[in-house]
Structure 1
């Protein structure tokens, strides 16, 4: 059964965003309810922290490295969260997506597959 992404923040020219979109197209049936274009709407570190704190879990992916935070049982410090949320531009990294109460930052195929239930 295909899964729904509730909210997605990506950039059309971003290589990682293209990989995420390509993966979702290849598996088919993944819908995105709300999409924000990162090149038009920048999300500052303060806003990124507020957004992350609305999640129960943050899963950050960069290359083959996957870091997971349980914000309910063992919340990380703001510094720890910012280290995985903020990219080289000083704003929220793209792609970022919410699936239920899980915030995914970056792209890792196996992690997307697991979280999306594919």
Structure 2
């Protein structure tokens, strides 16, 4: 029960931080932190979930909407037992698209404009 309360308080604090800045000024990296993604994912090393680089290497550009759907609706069984399930995330569709663009850019040398 107390764990749920701590999680709820952390989530509400993060939302308040996000609303301090206009959406156009928030970089994608900040968005990952503010939405709590970095609690389970890191850019290059696995934590509770797979590293963003591992996700980028697994998915192709034409699979962006699959990743957006996984963020919005959650996903299970995609990583063969390493990480069973990711619950649905509390992000908007446009935020999820920005996140997917940033994740997939890790295969390249040029980051998307929204990450600057």
- The alignment's TM-score, normalised by the length of structure 2, stands at 0.30
Name the larger-Rg structure.
2
Structure 1 or 2: more strand by fraction: 1
Structure 1 or 2: more helix by fraction: 2
Q: Which structure exhibits the higher relative contact order, with contacts defined as CA atoms closer than 8 Å and separated by 6 or more residues? A: 1
